[in-house]
Amino acid sequence: MNYYDKTLALFGLSLLAIAIMAKAYPPLALLAVLPVVAWGEEVLVWIHTRVAPLEPLRVAHREPGVEAAFDPRRGLYHVFWRAEPIHSVYGISAAPRLHEMYAKLSLRRGEWVAYFVWGDRKYIRYTARRLAPERLRQVELILKEYYVLNKAEPWLSSRKQPGRWPYLTALLFIPLALISSGWFLLAIPLWLFVYRRVRRWYRVPYLLLSLSHVSRASFLPASREMLEAMASAEAAAFGMMEKWAVAFTDMPPEVVHKKFVKVYEGRDTGKRLIRIRELSEFVERMARYNERPILLYPYGSKDLHSIYMTQDWIATYDFWALRNGVKALSHDLSRFPMFYGGKLLAVGREVVLAYDRFGRPVSVDLDALPTVHGVVIGASGLGKSWTVGSWLGVLAEAGVDVVVVDPHGDYLKWAVLHGAQVVEVPEELPSDMPEVLSRSMWFRRLAGEYGLDAGENAEAVKAVLERMASMAGYSPRFVDVGGRHVVFSVYKARKDAALQAFFYGVLLVYLLAKHVDERVERVRTVIVFDEARLISKRGVPGYSTLSSMLEEIVMGGRKYGLAIWFVLQLETQLEHDLLRSASVQLLFGGGEDVVKPLAHVLYLDEADTAYLLTTVTPREASLSGQPYAMAIMRIKPRNLKYHVKIPLDPRLK
């Protein structure tokens, strides 16, 4: 039985006892004033929270460098931040970082930290009985090691007052008045006055409206094995909720010691021996793993089917009252996905590209990435091109221009759906290509590696292009290229791999030289090089020139409004520096011979490897309806990592 259940029981029993005694001596009914004064507010708040949660009155507290909410009823200060995690781990693998964070915070008596998720927003709240600016700055600096913080409003709620309907609960005194010859009617005005005070001191919050379930486990010990077994499963269960929260505070070691001593000195020998054994395991575990005991207050918008979780409609009131909760250790925090997911906090064009294992949308702010080039790596048949095509549709809707260099004709259907111009290389070439390439030292170097003299004017370049196209049996037509979206198909040169690689490289030089014309900090164009192995093979003509050009231009593409994506089958098909510096990495699965080398090069952990080894193909996924691809998505600079499912546009197949 928790605090509120006990309060309600004591209140009801005391009133009933007073009513029975007042039957013999009616003036004793005046004693009903005592439980109304002592417990009336808690009972009325409990009654109201059966319908809607309450929070203390909105009072802002401001002083230099500090903006907080103040709860005058309980004398508590609250400071809120928008928070996005820097790390991307959850479950038992997050335990070391959680333990480290809690140890650094070293919460004092009268301090609490709460982390809660509200849809796609995450918040941290620091609560203290005494608000010291220097202590607040210390807490903020520690939290910044684990989260990107952005100050939020002091109160995240409405100004709506509690409803008037609990006034009607005063009618409950009428049956008691019948027992005590009417004297209980004198308690009605006091009861109305107490609820009037509740309406003055509380408001109905929208932020916590759906946090209606709370954990109420009361036992101290829990084996480490049990915690590790259930941590990932319960973290996933919480992560799938639209709204959830966890608050934690310090449990001083002396409190644990007192509990142990109290049990040790108990009179019931049988129960004492059982409890001593349980508590000794608890104390030994603390000593063995250097853990600090804490109090946990977890809440969710759904019931969690676990030995720790039960439904409690007063959870939201509990959340603000900060009273007795779950007694646990810091490793228990790994049951909550406090470090999983996250996004870049910035104002820009945000696009949803996938959904994580919790079913939450994974979004990318195109204008917040440090570099905007990306890599897509995966074996054939796992949906690389299908995924990229689906993503390009999302980017096109966000106002980004799309250019694709397509060696296999995989994007021709995409061009039809999105009204893109298709240029069949080498049968067709852009009319401005000779002029653009004549001004590029990179093209002269590239032509030299093929034993060609590119000259120093547009006519000489045009002659080189015509000569190479004739080797594929074409007399190229130079066409005007315009519009937002263009697909350069190199499919017609597929019979000669070296020739196809030449035109692939020429398009790379042309596109980069054409778009690198002015500095702009906003992504305007995304250029996709599918089968980038054609320009990244060591020992083949053009490799040295193209790799140097990529390192110089691609890694600084953000300055020119360019996002450059490479689609590969193996991680070895692109220079390692380019691979590592990609802000968006999408990694598909396959067999062990593909996944394990990929995991080694890109520092994936065991959970990542296991996920990639169990992925299904898009065709298998389409059997259940909507086709999707499975992959690991990583976003720099904070190494945000997601195990994702990517909805695929069925029109592309």
pLDDT value for 552 = 63
pLDDT value for 469 = 86
Mean pLDDT of the chain: 80
- 268 pLDDT exceeds 90? no
- 339 pLDDT exceeds 80? yes
Q: What is the mean pLDDT of residues 47-76?
A: 78
Q: What percent of the chain has pLDDT over 90?
A: 14
pLDDT value for 141 = 95
Three-state DSSP state, 496? coil
Q: What is the mean pLDDT of residues 104-132?
A: 88
Q: What is the mean pLDDT of residues 616-622?
A: 82
pLDDT value for 365 = 78
Higher pLDDT, 452 or 459: 459
84-88, 156-160, 585-589: lowest mean pLDDT where? 156-160
Q: How many residues does the chain have?
A: 653
- 1 pLDDT exceeds 50? no
- 87 pLDDT exceeds 60? yes
pLDDT value for 541 = 59
The C-alpha atoms of residue 231 and residue 306 are separated, in whole angstroms, by: 11
pLDDT value for 545 = 65
Strands (E), 152-267: 202-203, 213-215, 243-250
pLDDT band at 250 (very low <50, low <70, confident <90, very high): confident
- 323 pLDDT exceeds 70? no
- 121 pLDDT exceeds 90? no
pLDDT band at 270 (very low <50, low <70, confident <90, very high): low
pLDDT value for 136 = 93
Residue 525, token pair as written in the block: 């164009």
- 417 pLDDT exceeds 90? yes
Q: What is the mean pLDDT of residues 457-482?
A: 87
The model carries a pTM of 0.74
- 340 pLDDT exceeds 90? no
The C-alpha atoms of residue 278 and residue 263 are separated, in whole angstroms, by: 10
- DSSP 8-state class, residue 122: E
189-198, 354-363, 535-544: lowest mean pLDDT where? 535-544
Strands (E), 120-203: 121-128, 147-151, 202-203
pLDDT value for 310 = 45
Residues 497-523 as b/e (b if ≥16 CB within 10 A, e otherwise) read eebbbbbbbbbbbbbbbbbbeeeeeeb
DSSP secondary structure, 365-390, as one string: ETTT-SS--EEEE--TTSSHHHHHHH
pLDDT band at 312 (very low <50, low <70, confident <90, very high): very low
Q: What is the mean pLDDT of residues 408-424?
A: 92
Q: Which of 54, 322, 40, 317 lies closest to 199 in space, CA to CA? A: 54
> Which sign, positive or negative, has the C-alpha torsion 246, 247, 250, 256?
negative
